[in-house]
Amino acid sequence: MLALPTSGDQSTWTDKEAALIEAAGLVSRKRNQPPQLAPRPVVEAFLLQCERTQLDPFARQIYCIERGGKWQTQISIDGARLVAERSGKYEGQTAPEFSNDGQTWTQAWMPTTGRELPAFARVGVYKAGFREALSVVARWESYAPMEDVWDRGARTGEKKLGAMWAKMPDVMLAKVAEMLALRKAFPNDLSGLYSTEEMAQAANAAPTAVQQGTNGAERPQEQRRAPEPAGRPEEPVDAQVVADSSWEQRAIACTSMADLRPLYEEAEQAGVFGDVLASGETVRDMLWARKRALEQGPPPAAGPARDPELPMPWVDMLGGAVDMGDLLDLRAACERRNEWTDELAEVFARRTEQLEAALAESESQS
């Protein structure tokens, strides 16, 4: 694992350590605002959690996230599994089971008439010294995130199910149940650490219950606060509406205006222009930025071997980094040549967010 700073004192960090801290999610970037490092107590707490759990933030096993000015250390399901395995007392778990009534359970959930979404999921964890599996039931309405529906940059007052929860409802609810079971089995190791799936609903103000319509579509009922898992901070998390990262990934995949135009129209019809991406910019601003990039055309084709005295094409190199290790190596090389600039810092941050979003998408599908 790459070496993180041993102290939260920013003045003692090397440039590489500062870059690692930024890559771990401890620098907030919002539209029209300078990058903001997390408060020192947050940094110290994050470094302590990394040391305590021995999880790797660059493998997205543990990371820090800021919502509405409030910071929290979160853990991925893979990170929780690794902590359990390292304890030496983890002896496996039961297969996820699902139920619509809390009485009849099945391992293969299928939508039924009048119930398009699983009502409950449960997972049991086997731990040495216990006679039976430590099982926990997760209830759909306690964790499924409901997001605001936007139209032309304004909230409509309606709600929709979060993208990943709508796409893979059984997988997401099973991850919550597994995380709850792992924390129940290993409270000393996982106390205070919550997964993205557990906290998804906390990221949306005033979550609503889901009522099934006659056509199977979800429509919101009256707003109410969902039950919180044990140990969750009492104060609710204030947050902006976070856009589905797939919009940015699809925009990056567009290689011409002909590709981008249908995506722009789709985003407008979906009412997501005002949704805020992890970078702090709205979906609409991101699409316009991609439009400008396409209008400028691709970078020049590679020519003969370059003169070492000429400036390196850092923007293209950073923007084309395939993973965080590659990205950090490029930054270190750029700094050794004393060619690091504010423009490159923005490219670095943007590519970091893209790589993290791609990794998070991959994790959510695992």
Q: Which residue has the higher pLDDT, 224 or 55?
A: 55
Q: How far is CA 115 from CA 64, 99, 145, 211, 224, in A?
A: 36, 11, 17, 9, 21
Q: Which residue has the higher pLDDT, 280 or 220?
A: 280
Q: Which residue has the higher pLDDT, 170 or 296?
A: 170
Q: What is the pLDDT of residue 180?
A: 94
State mean pLDDT over 147-162: 80
Q: How far is CA 59 from CA 72, 347, 351, in A?
A: 18, 21, 16
Long-range contacts of 125-128 (CB under 8 A, 24+ apart): 125/84, 125/90, 125/92, 125/93, 125/94, 125/178, 125/181, 125/182, 125/184, 125/185, 126/90, 126/91, 126/92, 126/93, 126/94, 127/89, 127/90, 127/91, 127/185, 127/186, 128/88, 128/89, 128/90, 128/91
State mean pLDDT over 329-343: 72
Residue 157, number of CB atoms within 10 A of its CB: 9
Q: What is the pLDDT of residue 80?
A: 93
- Nearest by Cα to 182 from 273, 286, 278, 76: 76
Q: Which residue has the higher pLDDT, 181 or 344?
A: 181
Q: What is the pLDDT of residue 217?
A: 38
Q: What is the pLDDT of residue 42?
A: 86
Model confidence at 10: pLDDT above 70 = yes
State mean pLDDT over 10-29: 81
State mean pLDDT over 335-364: 74
Model confidence at 283: pLDDT above 90 = no
**Residue 206: band (very low, low, confident or very high) from pLDDT cuts 50, 70, 90:** very low
Q: Which residue has the higher pLDDT, 121 or 319?
A: 121
Q: What is the pLDDT of residue 121?
A: 94
Q: What is the pLDDT of residue 87?
A: 92
State mean pLDDT over 351-355: 77
Q: Are strands 218-223 and 208-212 parallel, antiparallel or unpaired?
A: antiparallel
Q: How far is CA 311 from CA 297, 315, 334, in A?
A: 20, 11, 10
> What average pLDDT is seen over the chain?
75
Q: Which residue has the higher pLDDT, 307 or 347?
A: 347
**Residue 27: band (very low, low, confident or very high) from pLDDT cuts 50, 70, 90:** confident
User: Using N-to-C axis directions, what is the helix angle for 324-336 and 342-364, rounded to 10°?
Assistant: 170
**Residue 1: band (very low, low, confident or very high) from pLDDT cuts 50, 70, 90:** low
Q: What is the pLDDT of residue 321?
A: 65
Q: How far is CA 95 from CA 171, 174, 178, 194, 212, in A?
A: 12, 9, 10, 21, 27
Model confidence at 46: pLDDT above 50 = yes
pLDDT in tens, 84-132: 999 999 999 999 999 988 889 999 888 876 678 899 999 999 999 999 9
Which of 31-45, 81-95, 123-137 comes out lowest in average pLDDT? 31-45
Q: Which residue has the higher pLDDT, 13 or 207?
A: 13
**Residue 221: band (very low, low, confident or very high) from pLDDT cuts 50, 70, 90:** very low
Q: Which residue has the higher pLDDT, 32 or 191?
A: 191
Helix (H) or strand (E) holding 359: helix 342-364
Which of 3-12, 160-169, 215-224 comes out lowest in average pLDDT? 215-224
Q: What is the pLDDT of residue 320?
A: 67
Percent of the chain past pLDDT 90, that is, above it, reads 18
Q: What is the pLDDT of residue 135?
A: 92
pTM for the full model?
0.54
Q: What is the pLDDT of residue 184?
A: 93
Q: What is the pLDDT of residue 90?
A: 95
Q: What is the pLDDT of residue 213?
A: 38
- Nearest by Cα to 248 from 162, 355, 366, 324: 355
Residue 161, number of CB atoms within 10 A of its CB: 18
Q: What is the pLDDT of residue 2?
A: 58
